Structure 1
Amino acid sequence: MKALPELLETGVRDALRHLYGPDASEQEITLQSTRKEFEGEFTVVTFPLTRLAKKKPEVIAEEIGARLKETLEEVKDFNVIKGFLNLVIADRYWMDFLLQSGVREGFGHVAGGKDKVVVEFASPNTNKPLHLGHIRNILLGWSTSKLLEATGHDVVRVQIINNRGIAICKSMLAWQRYGNGAVPEKAGVKADHFVGDYYIKFEQHFQEEYKAWQKSDEAAAILEEKNKKDLSPADFWKGYKNTYFNENSDLGRAAKEMLLRWEDGEPETVALWNRMNDWVYEGFDETYERLGVSFDKNYYESETYLLGKDMIDAGLDKGVFYRKEDGSVFVDLTDAKLDQKAILRADGTSLYITQDLGTARLRYDDFGAKRMVYTVGDEQNYHFQVLFEILKRLEEPYADGLFHLSYGMVDLPTGRMKSREGTVVDADDLMDEVIQEAYQSSLERESTSELSDTERREIIQKIGMAALKFQIIKVGPQKRMIFDPKESVDLQGQTGPYVQNAYVRTRAVWRKAGQRDLSQAAGYTQLEPAERELISLLYAYPGLLNDAAANYDPSMVAMYCYELAKNLHKFWHDVSILGADTEAAVAFRLYLCQAVGNVLKSGMGILGIEMPERM
């Protein structure tokens, strides 16, 4: 079948040529989806044609509409709203589309052939378990990778694990001092939570040390000497905390000494570092498995933090960078409306930007991908502007294919989270809570009462994870959001379970239908309004996937699935399926249910959501 946009655009050009002369076909055509409050599926905007036709937009629309209705069998009717020509597509086109393409499994997906894309997401620190913020990162990165895959791209999924630095040393030091040889298995604590508890324990002991020190003569002298703004002691000490850690704290000194020993490769420190990181990796893997995500390659900061220095030397030779008198290296990006950015310290040690330069080159060497997507929170927007600009100036072959998939923070109804104070909502705890909400919601329904306990648990697991994933992914990436576990499982709301329920209905009607002669569907002749709406939505699915992939925005897929589910529920209410007047209508509507179910399963699968057969 010829695609409608192409067919209609050709028809409009022919109409322009017929109505307004041979040169009219060069005019640009504006074709868009018809707004829901008007009849029709496609709209031609005629305002840009007034100079050509020397007529009012409404008159032009009437003339083109009449010509299209006369020459295109696919155009059943039209209506004009000011300068907008709304085209009503013939039932026969929608019916043929459904029976020839719409019911095909895999409809809307492209089977490869496009460029390779590296998608980075997760990228956690090994001093604490994954939390709610990581969940948004992971779900956004994973669904974006699946979206790119569905539209024909060769996708490589990676993460860079931040497994070195002072934060990790804090957990290590706390375990050494306060752990008494404890291990996760004997403590009965998930391994990454076990390590995270010691990060919190370090902070607790540090705060105690800090409060005690503030009463010392040394602290009194510092307060008198440095408090030039006459702040209250409490406000001054709040701002002095980092300085205290670096200059006065016994715990801070011990943690920094441990970091130096690690950098020097001292065997005992490295052995402890390996042991505690292995605990965290074990815990991360369990969480990733529950979330249904995986990676093609892990990069580790301990192996990449020295990368980039060769690129800096090359950049100095090219004049991209310059060296200051103290030996530090900078890049001047003021002409790109950025600033002068340090990329190497005076002592020759790396900064994050140094590492990221090297890691980008390493990924290109590993996979040859000229497109890379970085899923990182919006607090790093400036960092990635700088990184991408530097890579362009270094003339890296992949520099024009870099994209920062920036996203806003996730809050709970109770407010923000703080890692060091132990007020973060761990990813595992949040999954447990949403699944429990799904279980409580299921107690109100009898539809799974005939299933075994195992089957019921599997369904509740799918419903809970759908609630979590959909609630987070449906929000556009750049928006800050509040996640409410109770709201996420509402079967009547804009939720994952609501969409799942639509899919379950499509499966239930097929089970109830039994053996039918579906060949009679070709004899169905007239669509109901609810059927037209569903089929036109199905028709839009491939284009929706392409638009969402181009914008790196899986929320578009989530909202499409919701709209499709909402229209399926309306169709279910308005139209009899198995009790239709003719066998042709029964067969056609069964095919329509099958097509809707296939697309719901496909779209939700892109979001990492499994669809249950029953609810």
Structure 2
Amino acid sequence: MPLETNRMKIEQHITAAAVQAVKELYQQEIPETQLAIQDTRAEFEGQLTIVVFPVVRFSKKSPEATATDLGEYLVANIEEVTAFNVVKGFLNLSIAESYWIDQLNNELLSPDFGILPSNGKKVMVEYSSPNTNKPLHLGHVRNNLLGYSVAELLKAGGSEVFKVNLVNDRGIHICKSMLAWEKWGNGETPESSGLKGDHLVGKYYVIFDKEYKKQIDALKLEGQTEEEAKKNAPLIKEAQAMLLAWEAHDEHVVELWRKMNGWVYAGFEVSYKNLGVDFDKFYYESNTYLLGKDTVDEGLAKGVFFKKEDGSVWIDLTADGLDQKLVLRADGTSVYITQDLGTAQMKYDDFKMDESIYVVGNEQDYHFKVLFLILDKLGKGWAKGLYHLSYGMVDLPSGKMKSREGTVVDADDLVSEMIETARQKTEALGKIADFSEAEKEALYYNIGLGALKYFLLKVDPKKRLLFDPSESIDFQGNTGPFIQYTHARIKSLLNKAAYQSAPVPADITLSATELDMIILLGKYPAEIASAAKSFSPATMANYLYEVAKLFNKFYHEVPPIVKEEDAALKQLRLDLSSVTANILKSGMRLLGITVPERM
């Protein structure tokens, strides 16, 4: 189904008629773009509102008189417009019930409803980007959930999407874990320790840090400054030597690196599966860290970069309100942005995408400004399609959960805590006595993960948020479990009614809430397009909450639907319930959330 919904058609029809009205009434031409149509505010009668202020300069009348002129014209010339009222410069239009019934029958009940056409765009979403020296933590959880959902929304919006993960698998921080394991590991493995591989490697990263601090303290007692001690501690020198050995392809070091990274990847795979995220391609820093030097040569040849006397290469971005940026050290070694320049080119060569979205925390805002600006100055046409999806930090109420390291919240611990909280709250409700043990476990997982994902995604990505695990698992309010429960309630109703989809008569009378439901449900394709365009799952999450909230209002307003004796009225209400369930299921899936059939 092309993205030309009934709502869009009626808006276009009204807009075209309003342009014609201005021409006939005032002998003036007004561009369609100047006529804005919006939802009528709840306190006024009508469904669509035209803002008439732009027309006043053509009419030479007051806003109220202008709106009255337009209203009378539209009622006389558009069959669907049955009445109007004027509030200052706002013309509120009432649309015939038959129009909304037609939208329900021919659009909302269509199997293709909510499926948008291809827009021909190729989009890459890069997210996760973990280091292989520690497990995923709470910050990674927001990153992964955000990246996955944005990718799914873009897909639903008609784009061809590639999900990629650039793994930071090399460098001094990786060598710290390797060295500590070699010194104090005694051959410990994930199998012998019972630890996930990423947790085991993270354990030795912490051990390195503790031993390194001991050496620093000892050197300070000998009279060295903090900075001197940090540089001279034997442990950091050994780690640096190990990094040089890795870069020189030392067989022993490379084998140790492969073994420990293998443990971490196995651990990450479990975490990704628990979070319900996936990737189309993995890039590894060990394969990309030498990239970018050709780009530097290209930039020097084009005069974009300049070389200082010591041989280091820079770019001057002061005219752009930034500063001078080093892109190659004097000894010819790369800095981080050198690698990013090369990797950006490699990803474009691999996928030829129109847009590339980097899901990275807001502490890297400056880095991405510089990166995108340099690529643009290098004449990379595709640089215009680069976007940094910057997100805020996630905080927890103090004392809620502690990680194994005691410094960050471990992702696996968080998932386990969410599932356990879901178990306790669900069992307290006492509604799952007839569930098998397998069904119970699946339900606890879906509720726990649904609560976590929805809570993190319902907030605008740019905002810092406070995540309270207990507050997120609430069967009332703007939470994942509330929407999941609403879906389960509808499925129970449809099963009891032995529901089958069928159109309803065009002359049926709608209640105010039933009309509101058709209008809100009809916005689903536009909400997908809006969320995809703004890279904001929060847009979709909050729309789904409004849908669930309105359904519950409807459910409590009408007599029991299953017992309704008027066949047409029963069909209408079951159709509305079915469309609601479909939208909740489809929309939550775009957030990575499963809605249970029963709860």
Q: TM-score range by the shorter chain?
A: over 0.9
Is the contact made by 1:370 and 1:399 (CA closer than 8 Å) also made in structure 2? no
Does residue 1:183 correspond to 2:166, yes or no? no
Residue 31 of structure 1 and its aligned partner are, at CA, apart by 1.7
> Relative to structure 1, is the Cα distance of residues 512 and 398 closer, same or farther in structure 2, using a 3 angstrom cutoff?
same
> Relative to structure 1, is the Cα distance of residues 324 and 214 closer, same or farther in structure 2, using a 3 angstrom cutoff?
same
In the TM superposition, 1:236-315 aligns within 5 A as: 240=226, 243-245=228-230, 247-315=231-299
Does residue 1:458 correspond to 2:464, yes or no? no
In the TM superposition, 1:189-588 aligns within 5 A as: 189-216=195-222, 218-219=223-224, 222=225, 240=226, 243-245=228-230, 247-414=231-398, 422-514=406-498, 519=502, 521-522=504-505, 525-576=508-559, 577-588=561-572
Q: Distance in 2 between matches of 1:37 and 1:415?
A: 45
> Relative to structure 1, is the Cα distance of residues 24 and 360 closer, same or farther in structure 2, using a 3 angstrom cutoff?
closer
User: C-alpha offsets along residues 367-417 of structure 1, whole Å, 9 cap, x if unaligned?
Assistant: 111210000000000110111111111111311101000000111111899
> Relative to structure 1, is the Cα distance of residues 269 and 420 closer, same or farther in structure 2, using a 3 angstrom cutoff?
farther
Q: Distance in 1 between matches of 2:405 and 2:435?
A: 44
> Relative to structure 1, is the Cα distance of residues 11 and 444 closer, same or farther in structure 2, using a 3 angstrom cutoff?
farther
Residue 69 of structure 1 and its aligned partner are, at CA, apart by 2.0
Match of 1:604 among 582, 588, 599: 588
Residue identity in the other structure for 2:189? V
> Relative to structure 1, is the Cα distance of residues 474 and 4 closer, same or farther in structure 2, using a 3 angstrom cutoff?
same
Q: Distance in 2 between matches of 1:105 and 1:447?
A: 32
Is the contact made by 2:102 and 2:506 (CA closer than 8 Å) also made in structure 1? no
Does residue 1:100 correspond to 2:119, yes or no? no
> Relative to structure 1, is the Cα distance of residues 416 and 459 closer, same or farther in structure 2, using a 3 angstrom cutoff?
closer
User: C-alpha offsets along residues 54-78 of structure 1, whole Å, 9 cap, x if unaligned?
Assistant: 0111111122122222222222332
Residue identity in the other structure for 1:389? L
User: C-alpha offsets along residues 235-289 of structure 1, whole Å, 9 cap, x if unaligned?
Assistant: xxxxx3x6532x2211111111111111111110111011000100001111111
Q: Distance in 2 between matches of 1:45 and 1:482?
A: 39
Seq. identity, %: 48
Does residue 1:143 correspond to 2:149, yes or no? yes
User: C-alpha offsets along residues 330-368 of structure 1, whole Å, 9 cap, x if unaligned?
Assistant: 111122111111111111111111111111110111111
Residue 36 of structure 1 and its aligned partner are, at CA, apart by 3.3
User: C-alpha offsets along residues 559-584 of structure 1, whole Å, 9 cap, x if unaligned?
Assistant: 10111111111111112322335110
Residue 198 of structure 1 and its aligned partner are, at CA, apart by 0.8
Q: Secondary structure at the match of 1:599?
A: helix
- The structure 1 segments of at least 4 consecutive aligned residues displaced by more than 6 Å after TM superposition are 415-420
Q: Secondary structure at the match of 1:443?
A: helix
Q: Distance in 2 between matches of 1:352 and 1:402?
A: 18
Q: Distance in 1 between matches of 2:54 and 2:247?
A: 66
**Two-structure CA RMSD over aligned residues (Å):** 1.9
User: C-alpha offsets along residues 577-614 of structure 1, whole Å, 9 cap, x if unaligned?
Assistant: 22335110101111111111111111111100011001
Q: Which residue of 2 aligns with 1:237?
A: none
Q: Secondary structure at the match of 2:505?
A: helix
> Relative to structure 1, is the Cα distance of residues 243 and 288 closer, same or farther in structure 2, using a 3 angstrom cutoff?
farther
Gaps of 5+ in 1: 223-239
Residue identity in the other structure for 1:563? E
Q: Distance in 1 between matches of 2:272 and 2:537?
A: 19
> Relative to structure 1, is the Cα distance of residues 503 and 106 closer, same or farther in structure 2, using a 3 angstrom cutoff?
farther
Q: Which residue of 2 aligns with 1:122?
A: 128
Residue identity in the other structure for 2:521? L
TM-score, normalisation: structure 2: 0.95
Residue 34 of structure 1 and its aligned partner are, at CA, apart by 2.5
TM-score, normalisation: structure 1: 0.93
Gaps of 5+ in 2: 1-5
Residue 23 of structure 1 and its aligned partner are, at CA, apart by 2.7
Residue 444 of structure 1 and its aligned partner are, at CA, apart by 2.0
> Relative to structure 1, is the Cα distance of residues 243 and 91 closer, same or farther in structure 2, using a 3 angstrom cutoff?
farther
Does residue 1:11 correspond to 2:5, yes or no? no
Is the contact made by 2:64 and 2:87 (CA closer than 8 Å) also made in structure 1? yes
Residue 299 of structure 1 and its aligned partner are, at CA, apart by 0.3
Q: Which residue of 2 aligns with 1:66?
A: 72
User: C-alpha offsets along residues 4-33 of structure 1, whole Å, 9 cap, x if unaligned?
Assistant: 221221122222223222534667212222
Is the contact made by 1:14 and 1:25 (CA closer than 8 Å) also made in structure 2? no
